[in-house]
Chain A
């Protein structure tokens, strides 16, 4: 597994290299945006760690250009903790966002979570912990028992499961579930998220809210599997 590290701070790069290599990653480094993009094209990494404050290009711009040719999972690592910046990063295609200073353990856990999503197939059954979704029949089961869901609830849950571990922005969820004309109807989303939360209570799966950004499906053990 290859991880690409795009950050201009040599100390951060050195420390992260140690931590990542400890987890078995093959680490490549880039000290600015242009080199980072070249590295991503050349090394085809499995995961990218991206700083937003780069000397040559803005990190969000790097992300946008990266998304033109690759859908590699990207974890943004930045000192900026304003919601508007986070939202911009997510909308440009970031898979997760960690603010500096960070705890190394949490960073590694998040990195693992966003990588699991890799290779998910739209038509395959989606599963996350005890939760299994059957896209063909719009049915769901939790720990073997059928879960009663309305079509809207199912659509919302499918979106979250599909991106399990990753933040899905409010806009993305509204567009996917309610259609593009409903982008400002966030109260529906809140209501349905609440319904789902009640139905999933006690299953170890939680729907986490990132205020001002979106939702994330979280679980200690989460995996996608094909039927």
Chain B
């Protein structure tokens, strides 16, 4: 077989792991339609009724019947979940009650309108997040969705219909779907239904509706829905092909990358890339190049939103720093083996500057560059971004510029007689450079211009006119103008860059200080406290730390080093963050009404706790801050994990030490007890055991020896130091060994062995098993009158090995079936001489081998002890010709 045709083992592994996760998860069924009114809810309810008829536990979580009688009729007889009532600004809003579903845990829940936005105060801001949580906890979900609500299709829908869709669901949730069922209806039928008034049109204005439901629009939407479903089916097919080892012609190594900035076009570029990546079935990156330019609040927010969108759509977000965007983008592209760079089509560019697209194309080499026409995001910020409100400080700077230019002008006026007007130009230049070190860009450029004008008007002859007489003065004026402008802007840019560097250095320094204080501090508590204070200082925020306890559950109160104490209702979001390993709380999509934002302290292997950050009231959590906090959180998690490992090692050392001590003690005790016994026994042997006294001594010595053996064995069992070492065994051999071990005590009882002829070799610990059997035989011989037979039988039942020892004595007293296995238990009327440990040891040994032993009275008299060992490997003897 050709190697290239084989599926990549890593891919297969991913597939398998996905299946594994999927098997624990609930399944998601999506009923997809092209627009409202095609009958999605109706189809969903019909499918659900069928499941009810099959006996499945179905719960109607939330159903929008929109007053349609046919749909409402289908709901009859179903379990319907009452809506949750939420108070919001005096209104009472009905909302889907996710907690009630999680408590009731039905097999299947119906959740209409996947793209719905939840009322404020709900756990998640979007309904699809509720659905995700439901399937994660193992509940199947039926839901409905219109194609225009799919995030990656939003731009296309806007182009078709002119309607900007605000309620969207990320494409990733469609990838999760177990099944997508397309509810299709021809456009004529739909228009017919509309005319009959069967389509719910919502509260929208009549005009918008009539615009939306035009035949052309509907046909386009229908095509979109059909194509989308076809693509999904195609991808499923590919999954199947890959798994079935059909040669995979689409094994692409493509990787897309899109560069985004704080522009309003970014979102549309991201969606385009996502669609292209989905079609190529390849990974994609979103790169944001941070330069020294300080972003305005609007830009910051727009960037945060764009990068959030990228994450939601499943893209990997990379942020790098660099002054030249195209060089930085190409560098990332080379490092990450990107095959195609997506860039927006430039609109107007000054003729002397190359557009980003041109620069990328020039430097891209073997990487494809794809130039697409983006759509500006709808909304107010397209305009507002261009007109930042003029701040008070800017006005102050402008007035400062005005005053200083005129002061310099008047000073020079008095000096110009001695120095000549050339000197004045230099003074102005000096002033512009100095101003650039303090002021922002606008005022500096204004100052440069104003100085040039002043110089011209007041100093260049003829004075008090803008007219310049001599041609060399013209040249000089021109040169002054250019030098002043460029010096001003250069100095200003340098200062900005320095500021950005300083900010970055401050963050890096804070991270380093935090790590050092937390990791190197002798006292853990103090170290953590210093670390948290560093975070507080750096972000001007308050923090709370909730640490994982030794049993892997989250602590119920914040770490004492925290600078705020989470309010009582905050613990829900804390637990959510810990369980889902995702950031939640304020300024996120999950429980945004919380007091603080909560970050998981997660390392590669484990979850160490949760870090809560409460920023000052008016600041929002932007992208940079979020990344910074994530970096802090990772460091904290690593420090906590290190602590955890140190403790674990310490624990293990103590265990080893105590184990060694125990073993030494046991060796000593057995030596000290057994040596005198050996002496007594040897001495008795030497006398030949003649005479009644010596005989009694020999019996007592024998009994003492059994007690000592039993106690030592019991100790070994109870310390848990017994680990079976498996080997292939022949049960005949083991039975023979056990009989030998019991020795003379068994001579008074005839023993019969019943084993199937074809009994294979079994894999178990021969020593432990033989000892169990020996103890059972000894017990049988000791508790039955001489001459009564003892029967050993064994057999295999699948991989279950069972062995029984049955005697024909008086049997067990009633109620003793379980107690016989207790230490030092003696049934009444039993002969003395036993140790009371034999059966307890049997139980301990059998349990060490993961088996079970029971005692019962056999039908027909006598006691029976049965051992069963599950999961025993067997080896059938191959046919051997002797």
Contacts and interface: CB of A to CB of B under 8 A. Distances in A.
Interface stretch (A8-16, A68-76, A113-121, A129-137): A8-16
Interface stretch (A30-38, A159-167, A184-192): A184-192
Interface stretch (A42-50, A59-67, A101-109, A219-227): A101-109
Contact of A53 (B671, B677, B761, B881): B671
B632 to A, nearest CB: 52
Contacts of A2: none
A204 interface: no
Interface string B761-798: 10001110110000000000000000000000000000
B376 interface: no
Nearest to B705: A101
A83 B725 CA distance: 10
A81 B767 CA distance: 11
B90 interface: no
Contacts, number: 103
Interface in B362-386: none
A187 B678 contact: no
Interface stretch (B397-405, B439-447, B729-737, B861-869): B729-737
Contacts of B670: 79-80
A18 interface: yes
Contact of B737 (A79, A101, A186, A211): A211
B880 interface: yes
B733 A103 contact: no
B682 A101 contact: yes
A200 interface: no
A141 to B, nearest CB: 16
A211 B727 CA distance: 10
A43 to B, nearest CB: 23
Contacts of B770: 211
Contact of A9 (B675, B680, B730): B675
A220 to B, nearest CB: 15
A105 B725 CA distance: 33
Interface in A144-161: 148-150, 153
Interface in B858-882: 875, 877-878, 880-882
A195 B880 contact: yes
Contacts of B878: 191
Contacts of B205: none
Contacts of B881: 150
Given A103-B685, A212-B727, A79 B675 contact: yes
Interface string A198-210: 0100000000111
By CB atoms of chain B within 10 A, which of A11, A101, A209 has the most?
A101
Contacts of A16: 682
By CB atoms of chain A within 10 A, which of B701, B740, B766 has the most?
B766
A101 B761 contact: no
Chain A: interface size category: 35 or more
B674 interface: yes
Interface in B201-244: none
Nearest to B763: A187
Nearest to B672: A79
Dominant secondary structure at the A interface: helix
B688 to A, nearest CB: 10
Interface in A15-37: 15-16, 18-19
A80 B669 CA distance: 11
B728 interface: yes
Given A194-B732, A211-B770, A102 B675 contact: no
A16 B681 CA distance: 12
B725 A212 contact: yes
Contacts of A138: none
Nearest to B728: A187
A149 B881 CA distance: 10
A65 to B, nearest CB: 22
A19 B688 CA distance: 12
Chain B: interface size category: 35 or more
B674 A211 contact: no
A160 to B, nearest CB: 14
B686 A104 contact: yes
Interface in B639-684: 667, 670-671, 674-675, 677-683
B681 A19 contact: no
Dominant secondary structure at the B interface: helix
A15 B725 contact: no
Contacts of B675: 9, 11-12, 79, 100
A9 B53 CA distance: 84
Contact of A187 (B683, B737, B761): B761
By CB atoms of chain B within 10 A, which of A79, A83, A150 has the most?
A79
Nearest to B701: A101
Contact of B678 (A80, A102, A105): A102
Contact of B680 (A81, A101, A189): A101
A83 B765 CA distance: 11
A79 B882 CA distance: 43
A142 interface: no
A209 B736 contact: yes
A92 interface: no
A104 B678 CA distance: 10
A199 B877 CA distance: 17
Contacts of B730: 190, 193-194, 209
B882 A12 contact: no
B737 A209 contact: yes
A28 B738 CA distance: 36
A79 B671 contact: yes
A210 B740 CA distance: 10
Given A100-B674, A103-B685, A12 B679 contact: yes
A148 B677 CA distance: 48
Interface in B688-739: 701, 705, 709, 725, 727-730, 732-734, 736-737
B674 A101 contact: yes
Contacts of B680: 101
B876 to A, nearest CB: 10
Given A18-B686, A104-B686, A211 B766 contact: yes
Contacts of B667: 53, 80
A36 to B, nearest CB: 18
By CB atoms of chain A within 10 A, which of B709, B733, B734 has the most?
B733
A16 B882 CA distance: 47
By CB atoms of chain A within 10 A, which of B678, B729, B732, B770 has the most?
B678
Contacts of A83: 767
Contacts of A195: 880, 882
Contacts of B729: 190, 211
Interface in B523-573: none
Contacts of A211: 729, 733-734, 737, 766-767, 769-770
Given A190-B733, A194-B732, A209-B736, A101 B681 contact: yes
A100 to B, nearest CB: 4
A191 B761 contact: yes
A153 B881 CA distance: 11
Nearest to B741: A211
B681 A102 contact: yes
A101 B667 CA distance: 15
A55 B709 CA distance: 23
A212 to B, nearest CB: 4
16 contacts: A9-B675, A11-B675, A11-B679, A19-B685, A100-B677, A101-B701, A102-B678, A186-B727, A190-B730, A193-B733, A194-B733, A195-B880, A209-B733, A209-B736, A211-B737, A212-B725
Given A102-B681, A187-B728, 18 more contacts: A11-B679, A12-B682, A16-B682, A81-B709, A101-B677, A101-B682, A103-B685, A105-B685, A148-B882, A170-B727, A187-B761, A194-B877, A195-B882, A199-B882, A209-B766, A211-B737, A211-B770, A212-B727
Interface of B: 667, 670-671, 674-675, 677-683, 685-686, 701, 705, 709, 725, 727-730, 732-734, 736-737, 740, 761, 765-767, 769-770, 875, 877-878, 880-882
7 residue pairs, one from A and one from B, having the closest CB atoms: A104-B685, A187-B728, A100-B678, A211-B766, A101-B678, A79-B674, A101-B681
